[in-house]
Structure 1
Amino acid sequence: MMMRDGKDIYQKVLKYCETLHARWNLLEIRAIFLRRFLLQNVALELFLATRTAIMFAFNDEETVKKVVYQLPRVGVGVKYGLPQSRKTSLMTPRQLFKHSDMCLKWQKREISNFDYLMFLNTVAGRTFNDLSQYPVFPWILTNYTSDTLDLNVAANFRDLSKPIGALSENRRKFFQERYTSWSDDQIPAFHYGTHYSTPAFTLNWLLRIEPFSTMFINLHDGKFDHPDRILHSIKDTWERCQRDSHDVKELIPEMFYLPEMFRNSNRFNLGSRQDGAQVGDIVLPAWADSPEQFILMHRQALESDLVSCQLNQWIDLIFGYKQKGAEAVRAVNVFYHLTYEGSVNLKAVETPGQMEAIEQQIMSFGQTPSQLLTEAHPPRHSVMSMTPTIFRRLDDDLCMMMKYISNSPIVYLAANTFHQIPNPTVVGVAQNLVFSLNKWDNSYSYGASQRSALAMDPSNTDGTVQLPLTADPQLATANTAAILARRHLGDAFDQRLTVSCTNFVTTTDSKYIFACGYPDYSFRIVDTDTGKVRQAVYGHGDVVTCIARSETSLFSDCYVVTGSMDCTVVLWHWNGTQGYIAGEYNQPGETPSPRSILTGHEAAISSLCVSAEHGLVISGCEDGIILIHTTGSDLLRRIRGQGIVTQLSMSRECVLLALYDSKRIVTYSATARLLDESIAEDKIECLTITRDGEFAVTGSINGRISIWRVFPLTKLYTYQSLNTAVRSVSVAASHRFILGGLDSGAIVVYNADFNRWHYEYKHRYQQQAQQPQKAATPK
């Protein structure tokens, strides 16, 4: 909700507000951004730990400063590599960009193109809370007519060094002539009167899903637009962007992650076009069999090396030095003057009529992002220049195996191996509830030692063979009760439970383990340094059977969700800074309080997953039902499957992976649409999805660890079978290693080569591998 003058509520916003009044806890604020409203720096956008964003518009900049000094000193958050202070909240977009390390991370390929574009949009003032400043993404493909799409062919990609209005030579000449022949003394010359990101363009992309359907109808006086102007076909829309002087739109982020926007699932009557075609679902290119496949291919195109190596030139046009001034003129990239920051002083406007006209112009025809750079943006390093051996085949799958003195099965593994963590650790929990903190060496790489190693004796520390994983010294040779107490999760679990990976989660820094299954109906947070229970949390009427947490970064808040034999699911808030499950007001010392209690199941909960990023809680139970709730406790979808829902996991692209009866793998969209399914050869004991969401890793009772593509669901590779069941799996943050917890009480580490299975590099890798190896010739 946006407020003006402290009293007058911006009336148009009220149509889309669920409630007029709301409250938010100040301690849950994680980032504060200075925002523009009607081109004036009079707004603030607050980002909460629950991934909620609220935007407020005030009367003037002084009020904004006063409000900031009453808010917590969180700056714009560690996510952007900036200090936590009120000063950073009031930095200009250019200062925020300059002081952030995100550009360097992108150059070094530590973050994806999608994440970097979202960062640029956020810093430059683009926000989902204002349609006139909606995030903007580039058109990247040109081939929407062929039956197939090869992402290794440059001709299929747009020239990102040119603005969308100047891709066609005819349109470029038209706009250049408009600029050079402009003769109005009051209005500066421009190439484009309509911005590449306007409310009308944005709503036209999203009109098939709410609340954008309602917004679109209200924009057109209570009805849908003429059918010939409604988005009907990706191919037609792209062609119109090459010839129509009024259509210079770029894309929106949803084009890379939201397949639901292409379906007319609400069955709106959108009319018929002049050629007789009924407007319904968006017509996709022939190379996309479904919206999900279009999104997959579109995202892979965005992350391709061909786009990566020229994306900096598009950034120069949208956020950089070619956005305004002489460089913009040379690049045919000048927009109507009222779209630019600082172009008008609303306080100097003399009459209400003039004020209303200017405001309407700004809101209807878009706003240019804040300029972040005044010089050329540095290019991204090529994959081949950074890692020239990336396509080299790994000679050995096995990296190492580590065996403990105890033979208790390793039922849970967490590879907390991010480079930002001072002490990267692999946490292991055995069936006897003894846990281990095993040191991980991020500097280790395949080929550093002459051979792979089988380390059956964890006490071997003479350094003769370099290994990535070092056994917890507390457990290597110890057998005293005092030391074991520091590595034990306390009371035994309820006898009705079979201890599995779904009973545990850890924090990213490995300081705390969350464990469930205790007979007193609690779940507990255990300090891994002392082995003491930090919190025992009660919220169920029977034994807690499974637990999960949402995605998180170091010391950040997250959601924790628990399921029970009482058929309920409870959502909790974890305060990452203080290290406790929060109460109602998120104050230290409070009794833990549920954020939501989710109902609807009629059998014991058997599996869970939660995403703060998407605001979803997904729960499965023993009768095969899967429920999808929002974190605000609204039930969205109900999926009826067959068999016990053994495990659930969801990718960042909202592809839900469900395992039934430890045998049948099924993938669904976030709207519960069945995407694919497969019957596994062996009984699957555990699974996890990689951080990029593209692959799944499973471990079976027959000792096999397999790699699967999540969409379309396909088994890609299986490591050599072990002589013992795999009870847990995890993937190192670098994606270079896969770890398995074995029934024999050992941890196995495999070398992983996901590039071998990645779509873009698949053909190149195969060609590289098929080339004959030439023997070295002595000189």
Structure 2
Amino acid sequence: MSGGQLALPEAPIVRPSCRRCASGQVLRYCESLHARWNLLEIRAIFLRRYLLQNVAIEMFLASRTAVMLAFSDEETVKKVVYQLPRVGVGVKYGLPQSRKTSLMTPRQLFRHSDMCIKWQKREISNFDYLMFLNTVAGRTFNDLSQYPVFPWILTNYTSDTLDLNVASNFRDLSKPIGALSESRRKFFNERYTSWSDDSIPAFHYGTHYSTPAFTLNWLMRIEPFASMYISLNDGKFDHPDRIFNSVKETWEHCQRDSHDVKELIPELYYLPEVFRNSNSFELGTRDDGQKVEDVQLPPWAQSPEHFVLMHRQALESDLVSCQLNQWIDLIFGYKQRGAEAVRATNVFYHLTYEGAIDLKTIDNPAQVEAVEQQISSFGQTPAQLLTEAHPPRHSVMSMAPTMFRRLEDDLCMIMKYISNSAVVSLAANTFHQLPNPTVVSVANNLVFSLNKWDNSYTYGGTQRSALNLDAGSPETQPVQLPLTADPQLATASSAQPIPKRHLGDSFDQRLAITCSNFVTTTDSRFIFACGYPDYSFRVIDTDTGKVRQAVYGHGDVVTCIARSETSLFSDCYVATGSMDCTVVLWHWNGQQGYIAGEYNQPGETPSPRSILTGHEARITALSVSAEHGLVISGCEDGVVLFHTTAGDLLRRIKGKGPVTQLAMSRECLLFALYDSRRIVTYSATARLLNEVSYDDRIDCVTVTRDGEFAITGAQNGRIVIWRLFPLTKLYTYQALDSAVRSVAVTANHRFILGGLDSGAIVVFNADFNRWHYEYKNRYHPQK
């Protein structure tokens, strides 16, 4: 370790979770066998178990990637941690940044986090909370024997329709998967009570609910898991009758077979590709003569995408929310071990539990290898996070009885700028953690404003109002409003722009200024602007209006800019597209506030992380996701390219007409707008899902943070709410007197903002509950 870098100059000892997966054919998919990581890019560190020993760490990097390293003993782990940055486990979990938090046990991490309270208050989804529990409890995508575990929740895999409001369609989450039926519960209890081997503690289940074999069986239709699966089965796919072939059949096996008690994995709630044999693997023919291809879905599922949609909606339903805490008790909580586990029929083979054995106390190498093989191949129980019952989630109706009541008025307020310059960009940086929530707007004359947002504002029927900035000071306003004008601009003369609120030089005259020319940081401290004639894009300090950085990396004018998802003060990717037909990916250091250089050191010249090629026309639209490791770009000739953040080209789509907007959801659904009128949605594998034509020119689009809805603004003055999958127009707001040039949605999803061509900002009340599946089908049944 030198020069501020952690290096592995030679290939480390490869310790895969399943040794039989460590063939050269599989290792070609592994990154970082020879690796170097900059210490400044480490954002979080977790202690991890390897073979049930606390000898590993997992580092989460600014690029949203994770690296897991296993060492010889715990003392070595501590020495390494004390040489690493004091990043703790990250502000995401509400913990201080120190070495002490890096060395916390999983139970301490859980207790010090406020994620449980957020889940109870319904501030985070069931999916996000389960991912948090898996992460804190030591489950990691980097180890197949400790892969994240999710519950089976549905039982209806035979009907033509699925009603998510009927309790009988859901599994009883208070019981382990092996004891759902009375006959199986009696079978396993009899095994436990009649156990007579003094050398091995009694158990209900010899097979774990999460093993490398189970995980690979779910994922074997996609790489690199297909190669791992083949390696696990001695160079071939498993017998066709044992391959994951039918959701219904797999569920029935889990209810019938004493050796099959598997739970699910996260991918079954967000990744439809696991159900398709897109790679055309020869998976063989079953004994009944059926050829194994795509996974057979329930009759109510129209496609893998539709299955995943319904599966996710079921996970987030109130029926599941109200009993999910009982499943957590079984997997991560007080029913995981001890007398409560015995009463719950939830005891597994002793070598699956943390602290069950100390390998250093075994002198016989053959015995050590046998124990390691047992641990790595047959599953590991998560770390126990609670020794008391997990609190239940608040019911939707008991928590907020009026949350489903329809708002009487759509319009909340209108704020008009005296300059009359079109509002071409809006950024609603309104996270509740911010001391000063702000709506950043940029006008066509390159004047920007920092407008104060009031997160405590609640809708009231008498509070709707129109506000004109030349009608007097804010103190004379008659009603409370959520948006307050930037005081720097409230008294400014239209003829004398304030230097502190101007982006500097004019843009290239060949460009029409649009929302694609600007992005902001989540704390509103910086604006990224592109379109300057010197081929740069610039980082503007919003407090002073001065250029913090002018960044050069293209051979022509930069035409569009986008950034990846990010939390407060965290790093992110910034992607820029140009008339030179290239896309360049940059790394934004959120803690220091600059576009980073090669070594991410202050004062360095900004350096691209990747230069993406393949287009033959001007880049017109961009979307970048650090979580998915994707950069998606569109150009004037209708081509959309999928690149990895490492620069590899994955997919190419040829559409009709120029690509004018791109947006991507957390579930990796792509919203593409062609020729400003035709909306097309694609999957992560570039599969066309839906297509709709709109009757007027769409100038702007944004996707909600939950990834379920898209919001568009059009020349006809209308803001429209769309469901991304299946692509459906859900609601259209009243027409405005001017074209909508930019749109944004607040962090709490309660308000939608539009920037108008007339120089005004309109704020609409949003009623996403009305458009949500559960409201529409449970609380307001359709006639």
User: What interval of TM-score do these two structures reach, taking the shorter chain for normalisation?
Assistant: over 0.9
Residue 573 of structure 1: how far off its partner (Å): 0.2
Aligned to 1:351: 364
Note the C-alpha offset of 1:463: 4.7
Q: 2:468 aligns with which of 422, 435, 456?
A: 456
- Larger mean CA deviation between 511-520 and 385-394 belongs to 385-394
Is the 1:626–1:638 Cα contact (8 Å) retained in structure 2? yes
Structure 1 residue corresponding to 2:536, chosen from 522, 538, 550? 522
Aligned residue in 2 for 1:367: 380
Deviation string, structure 1 residues 527-584 (Cα, Å, up to 9, x no partner): 0011000000000000000000000111000000000000000000000000000000
Structure 1 residue runs of 5 or longer lacking an equivalent are 771-779
Query: Given the alignment of the two structures, is residue 410 of structure 1 paired with residue 410 of structure 2, yes or no?
Result: no
Q: Is the 8 A contact 1:441 1:468 kept in 2?
A: yes
Q: How far apart are 1:764 and its partner, in Å?
A: 3.5
Structure 1 position 25, deviation (Å): 0.8
Q: Match for residue 478 of structure 1? A: 492
Question: Using the alignment, how far apart are the partners of 2:521 and 2:32 within structure 1?
Answer: 34
Structure 2 counterparts to residues 328-727 of structure 1, below 5 A: 328-447=341-460, 450-457=462-469, 459-479=473-493, 484-727=498-741
Letter of the 1:524 partner, please give it.
R
- The corresponding residue for 1:158 is 171
SS of the equivalent of 1:647 reads: strand
Pairwise CA distance, 1:272? 1.0
The 10-residue stretch of structure 1 (453-462 or 676-685) with the greater mean CA deviation from structure 2: 453-462
CA–CA distance in structure 2, aligned partners of residues 535 and 19 of structure 1 = 31
SS at match of 2:475: coil
Alignment partner, residue 98 of structure 2: 85
SS of the residue aligned with 2:309? helix
Pair 1:44 & 2:49 matched: no
Match of 1:221 among 234, 258, 262: 234
Structure 1 equivalent of residue 3 of structure 2 = none
Cα distance in 1 between the residues matched to 2:519 and 2:33: 38
Residues matched between the structures, number: 767
Q: Is the 8 A contact 1:6 1:59 kept in 2?
A: no
5 Å matches for 1:152-191? 152-191=165-204
Q: Which residue of 2 is the match for residue 776 of structure 1? A: none
Which residue number in structure 2 is paired with residue 26 of structure 1? 39
Query: Partner letter of residue 427 of structure 2?
Result: A
1:66 aligns with 2:79: yes
Q: Tell me, in whole angstroms, the C-alpha distance in 2 between the residues paired with 1:704 and 1:9.
A: 57
CA–CA distance in structure 2, aligned partners of residues 7 and 243 of structure 1: 43
Residues 209 and 357 of structure 1: CA distance in aligned 2, closer, same or farther (over 3 Å): same
How far did 1:273 drift?
1.0
CA contact (8 A) 2:11 2:33 kept: no
Give distance in 1, aligned partners of 2:592 and 2:12.
37
Aligned counterparts of 1:575 and 1:7: Cα–Cα separation in 2: 29
Question: TM (normalized to structure 1)?
Answer: 0.97
CA–CA distance in 1 between the matches of 2:14 and 2:214? 26
Mapped partners of 1:525, 1:722: distance in 2 = 33
* SS of residue matched to 1:317: helix
Deviation by residue 1:620-641 (Cα, 9 ceiling, x = unmatched): 0000000000000000000000
Contact 1:2/1:9, CA 8 A, preserved across alignment = no
State yes or no: 1:273 paired with 2:278: no
CA shift digits 1:56-94 (9 cap, x unpaired): 000000000000011000011011111111111111100
Conserved in 2, the CA contact under 8 Å of 1:2 and 1:55? no
Q: Does 1:122 align with 2:119?
A: no
Alignment check: 8 A CA contact 1:705 1:719 kept: yes
Gaps of 5+ in 2: 1-5
Two-structure CA RMSD over aligned residues (Å): 1.6
1:466 CA drift (Å):
1.1
- TM-score, normalisation: structure 2: 0.96
**Structure 1: how far apart are the matches of 2:73 and 2:46?**
16
- Deviations, residues 647-682 of structure 1 (Å, cap 9, x unaligned): 000000000000000000000001000000000121
Could you tell me which residue of structure 2 aligns to residue 104 of structure 1?
A: 117
Matched-pair contact (CA < 8 Å) for 1:2–1:10: no
SS, match of residue 748 in structure 2? coil
How far off is 1:97 after superposition?
A: 0.4
State whether structure 2 residue 770 is matched by structure 1 residue 756.
yes
Asked if structure 1 preserves the Cα contact closer than 8 Å seen for 2:463 and 2:481, the reply is: no
Alpha-carbon distance, 1:252 to partner: 0.1
Name the SS for the 1:555 alignment partner: coil
CA gap of 1:479–1:123, structure 2 versus 1, over 3 A, is same
- Of the structure 1 ranges 383-392 and 230-239, higher mean CA displacement relative to structure 2 is found in 383-392
Which digits, 9 at most, give the CA deviation of each residue in 1:496-517, with x for residues without a partner? 0000000000000000000000
Structure 2 distance, partners of 1:507, 1:421, is: 12
Instruction: Name the aligned partner's letter for residue 454 of structure 1.
Output: A
